[in-house]
Structure 1
Amino acid sequence: MTDHRIIDVKLDEHSIIWRNADVEQERRVAIFDLLEGNSFKPLTDYEGGYAGPYKLVLRVEEGRLAMELAAKDDTLLETVVLPLSPFRRIVRDYFAICDSYYKAIRAATPSQIETIDMARRGIHNDAADLLIERLAAKVEVDFDTARRLFTLICVLHIRG
């Protein structure tokens, strides 16, 4: 029987550079939404035919994203590693637009906020597409799963 989904996700505490209440809220929401509904199918044939569900630990090491995949009994299945260099520009752009969005919430008109939010969602969608493309040879994910994983990748990159 297959169960291609994530049932637990954690961020390596040593990879998180800086956090505040807003960052913690983003992390909590992304994890909650991810666990509520996701599609995550590693393309590796695991010993014993294991086909999910999966536990996931995300960390950054030496400029790469490491995704530790484990079985529901915590047996390590594999570590998927992705270079983060293709994500640098989009993460930077996403942080910039998020900063503009949070500033706009305090002082802009509803129409200005909506315009910035649409741009923010557009960048987030582009990032999800990039993540799907980069994972394609190792893990199949749907669009919503990729969006939530990108949010968690960003949490790992936030600097104070």
Structure 2
Amino acid sequence: MAAGDYRLTDVVLDDTIGRASPDVEHERAVAIFDLIEENVFRPIGHPGGPYTLKLSLVDAKLVLHIAAEGEPQVATHILSLTPFRRIAKDYYLVCESYYEAIRSATPSRIEAIDMGRRGIHNEGSQTLCDRLKGKIEVDFNTARRLFTLVCVLYWRG
């Protein structure tokens, strides 16, 4: 299989996601752009894509509807968001501290906060990898981009 066969070419948020403030909508669009720009995405047991991912929310669960060209339904996976709540909350708090620090803190303080932010982001990305294991194979950078998208889905602005 060519490397391009195991990748996302489109990500769609359905109406269950809900609309948010213009700032949050912008962050969602950026997260989707970054995810599509570079990713490794392989539903286990499927011979290849490329894939379209449609995301919806049902009862605090993220539903991943995966389709491929010519196949409207490759797989559907339901991902509980409960394991991400604490991580997302911590991530928002440290991001707020980071943006505040940029305005007035010393470079060493900004760097320390940024290291903490990246650590929490890595924790969320690893949790996402663990939750997708055996269902969808992603590399760590794709997991990081997908975790960013999960975070901005939580963020209401």
Check whether TM > 0.5.
Answer: yes
Identify which range, 144-153 or 70-79, moves more after superposition: 70-79
Aligned-pair RMSD on alpha carbons? 1.8
Q: 2:107 aligns with which of 96, 106, 110?
A: 110
Q: 2:8 matched to 1:6?
A: yes
Quick check: which one's helix share is greater?
2
- Please, which runs of 5 or more residues in structure 2 have no aligned partner? none
Deviations 1:71-96 (A, max 9, x none): 13461222111111111111111111
Task: Name the SS for the 1:14 alignment partner.
Answer: helix
In the alignment, is the contact (CA less than 8 A) between 2:56 and 2:63 conserved in 1? Answer: yes
Number of residue pairs aligned between Structure 1 and Structure 2: 155
Distance 1:88 1:17, change over 3 A: farther
Task: Name the SS for the 2:67 alignment partner.
Answer: strand
Distance 1:97 1:17, change over 3 A: farther
Q: 2:50 aligns with which of 32, 50, 53?
A: 53
Overall identity of the aligned pairs, in %:
53
Task: Name the SS for the 2:137 alignment partner.
Answer: strand
Q: CA deviation at 1:16?
A: 3.7
Distance 1:13 1:121, change over 3 A: farther
- Please, which runs of 5 or more residues in structure 1 have no aligned partner? none
* Amino acid corresponding to residue 40 of structure 1 in structure 2: F
In the alignment, is the contact (CA less than 8 A) between 2:43 and 2:75 conserved in 1? Answer: no
Q: CA deviation at 1:129?
A: 0.6
- Larger RCO, structure (CA 8 Å, separation 6 or more): 1
The TM-score, its normalising length taken from structure 2, stands at 0.89
In the alignment, is the contact (CA less than 8 A) between 2:35 and 2:142 conserved in 1? Answer: yes
Q: 2:27 matched to 1:29?
A: no
Q: 1:88 aligns with which of 85, 109, 116?
A: 85
